[in-house]
Amino acid sequence: MSNVTRRREEVFRLIGSCADRPGIVAKVACYIAARGANIIEAGQHQDHESGVFFMRYEVMLAEGDSEEKFRAGFIAVAEELGMEWWLSSALRKKRVAVMVSRHGHCLADLLHRWKFGDLPCDIVCVISNHTSLRELVEWNGVVFHHVPVPTDTPGRECAFQQISRLLEEADVDVVVLARYMQILPGWFCEKWPNRIINIHHSFLPSFVGANPYRQAAERGVKLVGATCHYVTAVLDGGPIIEQDVVRVRHNDCFTDIVRLGKDVEKSVLSRGLLYHLEDRVVVHRNKTILFY
Amino acid sequence: MSNVTRRREEVFRLIGSCADRPGIVAKVACYIAARGANIIEAGQHQDHESGVFFMRYEVMLAEGDSEEKFRAGFIAVAEELGMEWWLSSALRKKRVAVMVSRHGHCLADLLHRWKFGDLPCDIVCVISNHTSLRELVEWNGVVFHHVPVPTDTPGRECAFQQISRLLEEADVDVVVLARYMQILPGWFCEKWPNRIINIHHSFLPSFVGANPYRQAAERGVKLVGATCHYVTAVLDGGPIIEQDVVRVRHNDCFTDIVRLGKDVEKSVLSRGLLYHLEDRVVVHRNKTILFY
Amino acid sequence: MSNVTRRREEVFRLIGSCADRPGIVAKVACYIAARGANIIEAGQHQDHESGVFFMRYEVMLAEGDSEEKFRAGFIAVAEELGMEWWLSSALRKKRVAVMVSRHGHCLADLLHRWKFGDLPCDIVCVISNHTSLRELVEWNGVVFHHVPVPTDTPGRECAFQQISRLLEEADVDVVVLARYMQILPGWFCEKWPNRIINIHHSFLPSFVGANPYRQAAERGVKLVGATCHYVTAVLDGGPIIEQDVVRVRHNDCFTDIVRLGKDVEKSVLSRGLLYHLEDRVVVHRNKTILFY
Amino acid sequence: MSNVTRRREEVFRLIGSCADRPGIVAKVACYIAARGANIIEAGQHQDHESGVFFMRYEVMLAEGDSEEKFRAGFIAVAEELGMEWWLSSALRKKRVAVMVSRHGHCLADLLHRWKFGDLPCDIVCVISNHTSLRELVEWNGVVFHHVPVPTDTPGRECAFQQISRLLEEADVDVVVLARYMQILPGWFCEKWPNRIINIHHSFLPSFVGANPYRQAAERGVKLVGATCHYVTAVLDGGPIIEQDVVRVRHNDCFTDIVRLGKDVEKSVLSRGLLYHLEDRVVVHRNKTILFY
């Protein structure tokens, strides 16, 4: 499914969507074939309610062809189809910033996967409102920014302006909230649409907001979960990328639930992020289409 | 775990709860040992918040001993401990009534498990507000009652009075709502506390109320679930016995979700019911303790 | 994923494989577009080791077009690509025969799914070496054949000749071994290649052969599983279509393991069969490609 | 379930086994009650084939009581019952050595859980036949020993003698093989019976020996798994502590399978080790009883 380890030279991902009608695949495939490129993975989806067609192709360009030429030539095809699209090189790693508070398990997990070659991205910085994870971050050779977030409104605003500048300076493609226990301002969410990924420690839409494990323990659920989603201005309401659950028992105390839940958080976040990094996620009407 | 197939002669389940303190197990175990009975399965739990102790013992009585004698002798032990308790013979099958509307998958599943010997109970009748499942029920040799439920309040009240009488006449121990699409009156719920078992087709507390699969499809969740719980006067709010989930994908249309969900409903309901039939479930503060 | 419930008029599945090279998708998609047909689902796969390309398209024909014309026209396309292929109408239900011994849980499950509209096929007969399930089968309106299988070689041979004739007379497309506890002769397996589907009650390749639950209990595994696979002349060695597992515990006795395993058998078999019925399974080198 | 986070002062685990007969629980519980201790968790199991009784109690001693006194007093009880037993203080952390080759994912995972307080043990050293993980280990403040293992028999023998000495000097309670790609000598396995824990990257007994992921890819299984087990002289044949699986798809290439499998390895190993650290595992006839 993933191409974490396939050779990536000249592999491009072409993702697009347009109104559904006969002939779309033929047009796109003919363009690809005319350039001598090979389709190495293909996904498509029709949303029957909205009548929208979605596609994702992984193509290997012919020798001598280039991203620029491929892109330039596709403009006319896309125009004819009324297609919104993007082209993404598997070679160009996305630049990732991680935001974190005190809980380090997701951050540590991401750093390890990245070090061991299982997350094809560049982790360019970590931003935290605390300093407790600085040592871990810097030992991994990643820049650490401490940006305290005051509780008063002007102070918060100021902090997020600073974070926003840091993200811009680092030229990040994706922001990962790896248990960042602060609610982001609306303007901040809208600045990186479908590019801020959060891990929420419940099976959404159950237990929105604060302390979901506590809520889960109080309701007496038999499974606890985690949800990886894009952040929108609606708290815990953005498009869901990935979810999973783990069984808990009546004799699991609150701390056990937290411990079991952490494992789910880590795997759900890393899977969701990997899908995003490989351009497998398309958002449509607050839902995600996952090409895997 | 289960004793579906163990020889059941003389096997009794002793379930109790009392304020926690040292010596409870010793007192109970000494009583059991003094009668020459053997403990063949034991479970216990402390709720640390409320300081309540819970226990479930399966005991095999000595030759010549009897339920009546065991019970009579235990009264003094329980009094000393301030214990609420019940004793249940594995030989005496619980009497089950199933209530159902039009969707027959859970009912059919229960009937099959019962026929194949995997549900140790007597299914004594099926009550439905429709007639479409009559043939299936009667072919299985079970009495079928058709009780239409009008939409007007007096009509509904009258229908549930009738159902209540039918349940009493059939001397049922457990009522299973196997996709019964009617909200029960409060007095009805309270008449059989912790004895009415519902299957809700969502992972509660997500998607309370009507059409949970539709709600799930609209939210774009990546897993759909089912919840087996005791019915209380709070809609979908009773103590949860069992839950499970299944993965859905963006290309699973609403009908696929329903089909996938049905399998989870069936297995969650049958597991939850089996736990109840084997006296493995104890309710405490709107949560369940499951001795398995 | 499934199209159990989509309207099926004019929906065809085009499945093909050929040596991989650029331009295959373009050729096929252009042919489809030229006929005015719409692709409503597409899957493709490259086997990198063997260099073989596989595809599955669901197409909705244009008004006025027909299966015969589509098929006739595709011959030239396929020839040019050196493609092996088949075209299958979603309207034409596959004819299924079920073979069973004494254990009725898988059979009952299939019959129910079929009755409730969740298995798009015609179950045309059930063949058993016992008579205990006759009543269940006939109540469901399905023909039941009792073919005893003697233990001596000539007797067995004779029995399977008779079964073979019954299958031919019933014009079956698929044979499902729903816990048929007899080893099929080699010639029988080869007569319906990739069309005999077995459910084996273990997570293959663990516990090949007889009594896998007993083997599992003896090895002390923590999960037991089931495997749905195509039957070949190699015992339990054919291409795997679907697998799943369920957790068992040290206090689950052998009978509990059997009971838990049955649920997995039922769901794995019904999923595997559904994939086959919807032409989602392609066999390559003793493995399956699953387009879902 | 776990008591990772409960206060541990004075909490002891009493694990024992003896021939089953009425009165065992009474004798043990009376002893505990007579000391004024409170049972805070209890588990018991009967193996019906062998007629052996197993128990695990967590007890909180009364003020003024001590481990020594409790132990001394229990000797007579155990003698009367013919019980093998051990008493283990939750306060006394087990001393763990990790052995590893080149694959660092399990090691890194263990180190993180340990650092974040989710593994109640002391990791006292890491022994490797390579040096590539030295930096990771030492950054975590753990002693790293490089012991190359030559391929010739005398060289190997010598290496394992050296490892054995290191383990003795470090006074380790448990040895964890966190992907240690060397087969241990028989004498080495027997020196720490039920105290060497291995993670095997397959769902045993499938794919014993080398390269299980490769074997899994070749067989075309739909799930890959991992098994945590005690090491015996029989390769991959020791008592299984924990297992789990993850779904793979036909388009998951070998590297994807490895990546997906790693996650299962990590969680299965950490769960299995946690059970051992909390004295929840009892071995009986090459199987494990798990008190959780």
3-state secondary structure B156-195: HHHHHHHHHHHHHHCCCCEEEECCCCCCCCHHHHHHCCCC
The answer to whether D32 and B26 are in contact (CB under 8 A) is yes
Place of tokens 């299939």: C110
Q: Look up residue D6 and give its two tokens.
A: 């409960």
**Domain limits of chain B?**
3-89, 94-290
Tell me the pLDDT band of C251, cut-offs 50, 70 and 90.
confident
**pTM for this model (two decimals):** 0.94
C-alpha D133 chain-centroid distance: 22
Residues of A in contact with C37 (CB under 8 A): 22
The yes-or-no answer on residue B236 being catalytic is yes
Which residue of chain D is at minimal alpha-carbon distance from A135? D139
pLDDT tens digits for range C99-149: 999 999 999 999 999 998 999 999 999 999 999 999 999 999 999 999 999
Q: Do A36 and C22 touch (CB under 8 A)?
A: yes
DSSP output for D35-63: TT-EEEEEEEEEETTTTEEEEEEEEEPPT
DSSP code string of D61-97: PPTT--HHHHHHHHHHHHHHHT-EEEEEESSSPEEEE
- Looking at residue B48, its pLDDT comes to 85
Segment (H or E) for B121: strand B121-128
- Give B10's Cβ-side CA count (13 Å radius): 14
pLDDT for the residue numbered A10: 79
**The pLDDT value given to residue B72:** 97
Report how far residue C99's alpha carbon sits from residue C119's, in angstroms, rounded to the nearest whole number: 17
Average pLDDT over residues A71-90: 97
Q: What is the pLDDT of residue C209?
A: 83
Residues of B in contact with C116 (CB under 8 A): 104-105, 108
Residues of D labelled as active-site residues = 236
Q: What is the pLDDT, as a whole number, of residue A242?
A: 97
**CATH topology (fold) of A94-290:** Rossmann fold (3.40.50)
CATH code assigned to B3-89: 3.30.70.260
**How far does the CA of residue D60 sit from the closest CA of chain B (Å)?**
9
DSSP character at residue B237: -
DSSP count for chain C of H helices, then E strands = 8, 13
Contact A27, A80 (CB under 8 A): yes
Helix (H/G/I), strand (E/B), else coil: C287: strand
Catalytic residue, from A109, A173, A236, A279: name it: A236
Q: Do domains D3-89 and D94-290 have the same CATH topology?
A: no
What would the two tokens of residue D179 be?
Answer: 């992907």
Q: What is the pLDDT of residue C84?
A: 97
Q: Find chain D residues with C-beta within 8 A of B38's C-beta.
A: 20-22
Q: How far is C140 from chain D (nearest CA, A)?
A: 33
CA distances from C276 to B36, C2, C282, C289, D152 (A): 58, 11, 9, 11, 52
User: Which chain C residues are Cβ-neighbours of B112 within 8 angstroms?
Assistant: 105, 108-109, 112
For residue D109, how many C-alpha atoms fall within 13 Å in the half-sphere facing its CB?
Answer: 27
Pairing of strands A196-200, A174-177: parallel
Taking the CA atoms of D151, D152, D155 and D161 in sequence, report the sign of the dihedral they define.
positive
H-type alpha helices, chain C: 24-34, 67-81, 105-115, 134-139, 153-169, 186-191, 212-219, 254-277
List the structure tokens of C47: 């086997």
User: How many other CB atoms sit within 10 Å of the CB of residue A113?
Assistant: 22
In whole angstroms, give the CA distance from residue A86 to residue D161: 60
Neighbours of chain B (3+ CB pairs under 8 A): A, C, D
Is C242 close to D222, i.e. CB distance below 8 A? yes
Give C-chain residues touching A24 at CB under 8 angstroms. Answer: 39
Contact call for C112 and B118, based on CB within 8 A? no
Rounded to the nearest integer, the mean pLDDT of chain A is: 93
pLDDT of residue A48: 85
Suggest the residue from C6, C25, C30 to mutate for an interface test with chain A (most A CBs closer than 10 A).
C25
Selection from B179, B181, B117, B121 nearest residue B151 by Cα: B181
User: Which pLDDT does position D9 carry in this prediction?
Assistant: 58
Contacts B–D by Cβ distance under 8 A: 63
Q: A1, D249: Cβ pair inside 8 Å?
A: yes
- The pair of three-digit structure tokens given for residue D180, joined into one six-digit string: 């240690």
Angle formed by the axes of helices D254-277 and D212-219, to 10°? 130
**What token pair was written down for D99?**
């052995």
D neighbours by CB contacts (3+ pairs under 8 Å): A, B, C
Q: How far lies D81's CA from each of B37, B61, D20, D41, in Å?
A: 17, 21, 9, 21
The residue from B109, B173, B236, B279 that is catalytic is B236
D280 close contact with A: CB closer than 8 A: no
Which pLDDT value is given to residue C9? 58
Q: Report whether the peptide linkage leading into residue A205 is cis, meaning its omega lies within 30 degrees of zero.
A: yes
Position C87 confidence tier, pLDDT thresholds 50, 70, 90: very high
| Predicted pLDDT of residue B210 | 85
CB count, 10 Å around CB of A210?
10
List CB contacts of D3: < 8 A, sequence separation 6 or more: D11, D41, D58, D90, D278
**Residue ranges for chain B with pLDDT beneath 70:** 1-9
Q: Which residues pair with D152 in a beta bridge?
A: none
- pLDDT number for residue A156: 96
Q: Is A64 exposed, middle or buried (0-12, 13-18, 19+ CB in 10 A)?
A: exposed
* Identity at C32, one-letter amino acid code: I
Residue in D222, D230, D268 to test binding to C, most C beta-carbons within 10 Å: D222
Classify residue B34 as left (phi > 0), alpha (psi -120 to 50) or beta. Answer: alpha
Q: How far is D279 from chain C (nearest CA, A)?
A: 16
Other residues' Cβ atoms within 10 Å of the Cβ of residue C178: 28
Nearest CB to C32; choose among A26, A43, A62: A26
Query: What is the end-to-end Cα distance of chain B in Å, rounded?
Result: 6
Instruction: Tell if the CB–CB gap between B221 and A240 is shorter than 8 Å.
Output: yes
Does C225 have pLDDT greater than 50? yes
CA separation for the pair B65, D254 (Å, rounded): 63
Please indicate if any CB of chain D lies within 8 Å of the CB of B46: yes
Question: Residue C24's CB: how many other CB atoms inside 10 A?
Answer: 24
| B126, burial (CB in 10 Å: exposed 0-12, middle 13-18, buried 19+) | buried
pLDDT for residue C259 is more than 70: yes
Distances (CA, A) of B59 to A39, A149, B7, B66, C129: 66, 60, 12, 12, 42
- Pick A1's closest partner by Cβ from D6, D108, D256: D256
Which one is catalytic: C65, C236, C244, C263?
C236
**Percent of chain A, pLDDT > 70?**
97
Q: Is the alpha carbon torsion for C221, C226, C227, C232 positive or negative?
A: positive
Q: Which residue shows structure tokens 């087969």?
A: D183
- Model ipTM value: 0.91
Nearest to D57 by CA among B46, B292, B198, A196: B46
Interchain contact A253–D (C-beta under 8 A): yes
The answer to whether C255 contacts chain D (CB < 8 Å) is no
Q: How far is C85 from chain A (nearest CA, A)?
A: 19
- Between CA A119 and CA A124 the distance in angstroms is 13
Residue D43: strand pairing partners: D56
Q: Chain D contact for A261, CB < 8 A? A: no
- What is the distance between the alpha carbons of residues D292 and D289, in angstroms, rounded to a whole number? 9
pLDDT in tens, chain D (292 residues): 444 434 445 799 999 999 999 999 999 999 999 999 999 889 999 998 899 999 999 999 998 899 999 999 999 999 999 999 999 999 899 999 999 999 999 999 999 999 989 999 999 999 999 999 999 999 999 999 999 999 999 999 999 999 999 999 999 999 999 999 999 999 999 999 999 999 999 999 989 888 999 999 999 999 999 999 999 999 899 999 999 999 999 889 899 999 999 999 999 999 999 999 999 999 999 999 999 8
Asked if B29 has any chain D CB less than 8 Å from its own CB, the reply is yes
Q: Which residues of A74-89 are buried (b: 16+ CB within 10 A; e: fewer)?
A: beebbeebebebebbe
Cβ C25–A40 below 8 Å, yes or no?
no
